[in-house]
Amino acid sequence: MAYLVGERHQAQLFPASVEDYIRSEDPVRAYDAFVDQLDFKDLDIIYDEDQIGPPEYDPKAMVKLLVYGYSYGERSSRKLERATRHNLSFIWLTGGLKPDHKTIARFRRDHRGGLKNILKQCARLCLKLGLIEGNTLFVDGSKIRANASSKHNWTKKRCDEVLAQTDCQIEALLAECEATDLAEEEQESLVQMQEELKDKEALKAKVQQILKELKETNQTSLNTTDPDSRPMKGRQGSHNSYNLQNTVDDQHGLIVSTDVVTDANDQNQFSSQVNQANDTLQKTCETACGDAGYANTDDSKIIDDQQIKVVIPSQKQASSSPGKPFDKDSFKYDPQRDCYICPEGHLLTYRSTNRRENQRHYRAARPALCRACPHFGVCTKAAQGRSIIRLVNEQLKEKLEKQYLQPDSQAIYKRRKEKVELPFGHLKRNLKVVAFLLRGVAGVRAEGSLLSTSFNMARVTTLLGVSGFIEKIKQAQKDGQMALSTA
């Protein structure tokens, strides 16, 4: 059987321009058109062709390189450097520029604030193109590892143990140095011990500084590699991570806004994420939806007060386990007398309010009746009788629970998973994002924006096609110029 065999030394006539290698429907053209329409002044990235000094790489070309690279899983500065030399689409995109990995890494690090705002401009462009509706928003979070090892986590207990151990080692080294001096042994061993002593003293000073930071920041743990990261539990165990929050539009599942937070859970994130999305959309959405992890009545109140319909199940509604006998639902609240009535007809009266937790505490008015009740031991075992906690905003909680059970709310919640889980699946499975590359909140927020923009771009080119997307951008720019001239 014959084989097709290549010949490296065969003379060939290549096209005169790299432009001829990139077909009109190549996705790279969509990324080129997208970055060209970005407002670099809004990104706070200086773009001045008349600036003085030695020439630097075109900021537009560098942003194109990062956005396109992140979209295809090429996030490492060394891989991006290699791509500008060997990958035709990267060569075409940058116009033949070949920045080294240090230049790429420095540009990404120095413009973290500007790169964080790329997603906002991407979402507003999609809004102009009719790809984002902004009526129903879904919020979800996912933990992504930080560029820091958990071995570098320091707690007060670990600091105390290391300090005690180091003090013992320093005392032993000092005693050994004194013995060496007395014995007048060779200088080399003494020099070596003095160097070890310096190392131990440096370690002691470092641990003391960590202990001081833990006390000042009131944290339980501090990572010396990335102090902003926090230990978080995920499906693959506990690692130093960040919590990536995405707010997604219902129409085509495009990401409206993204944020990276250091909170291990989502309980206090719902209102801030919805408000960030509304700020990007420059309007207020009609419905905001999240899973039970966002169930926090005080936080949901901020969104409910804006006349936005909140669709979030309570922890009890999300739980599949049956309710316990004599749980809170078995007791009837009397708003006139501000008390609870137990199934046996006994009263639980108001006792105190926990202002920090926004909770009101109720307890049996006559503990002796509780102890004499046939259900004592099942309902409660407390000698002071049964107690119940009622939220200050309990009425709002009941309203949200009823609101969640409405048929239209159930239809919205059913769409939540397919809309908001897709971006995380794309990032983690397709782009192989297992950890952030940059360190610190500012750095990971810039990466989060690039990653979310890469998802939006992949989705937009699927919906419109490359040429369709470019034509819509040109039309939007034309309409915008016409509107500006009319104004």
pLDDT in tens, 280-322: 999 999 999 999 999 999 999 999 999 999 999 998 888 877 7
pLDDT of residue 125: 93
Neighbours of 45 (CB within 10 A): 21
Whether domain 136-145+244-314+399-443 has CATH 3.30.420: the reply is yes
CA torsion 442-444-450-453 (nearest 10°) is: -100
Give the sign of the dihedral formed by CA 281, CA 282, CA 288, CA 292: positive
Structural element, H or E, at residue 413: helix 407-425
Using CA atoms, how far residue 226 sits from 115, 200, 203, 263, 438, in Å, is 20, 23, 18, 15, 9
Using CA atoms, how far residue 105 sits from 80, 228, 433, in Å, is 10, 20, 18
Q: For 139, which DSSP code?
A: E
pLDDT of residue 225: 82
pLDDT of residue 44: 83
Low-confidence ranges of the chain (pLDDT < 70): 1, 50, 159, 162-163, 167, 169-194, 196-197, 199-200, 203-204, 207, 210, 214, 480-487
Q: In a 10 Å sphere around its CB, with 0-12 CB exposed, 13-18 middle and 19+ buried, how is residue 256 labelled?
A: buried
Give yes or no for a contact between 404 and 279, defined as CB atoms under 8 angstroms apart.
Answer: no
Provide the residue count of the chain: 487
Give yes or no for a contact between 348 and 339, defined as CB atoms under 8 angstroms apart.
Answer: yes
pLDDT of residue 213: 73
pLDDT of residue 149: 84
The residue whose two tokens read 């007395």 is: 182
Q: Which residues of 348-363 are buried (b: 16+ CB within 10 A; e: fewer)?
A: beeeeeeeeeeebebb
Structural element, H or E, at residue 104: helix 101-110
* pTM for the whole structure: 0.86
Neighbours of 214 (CB within 10 A): 17
pLDDT in tens, 105-158: 999 999 998 999 999 999 999 999 999 999 999 999 999 999 888 888 777 777
pLDDT of residue 153: 75
Q: Which residues contact 127 (CB under 8 A, 6 or more apart)?
A: 134, 281
Number of helices (H), then strands (E), in the chain: 17, 13
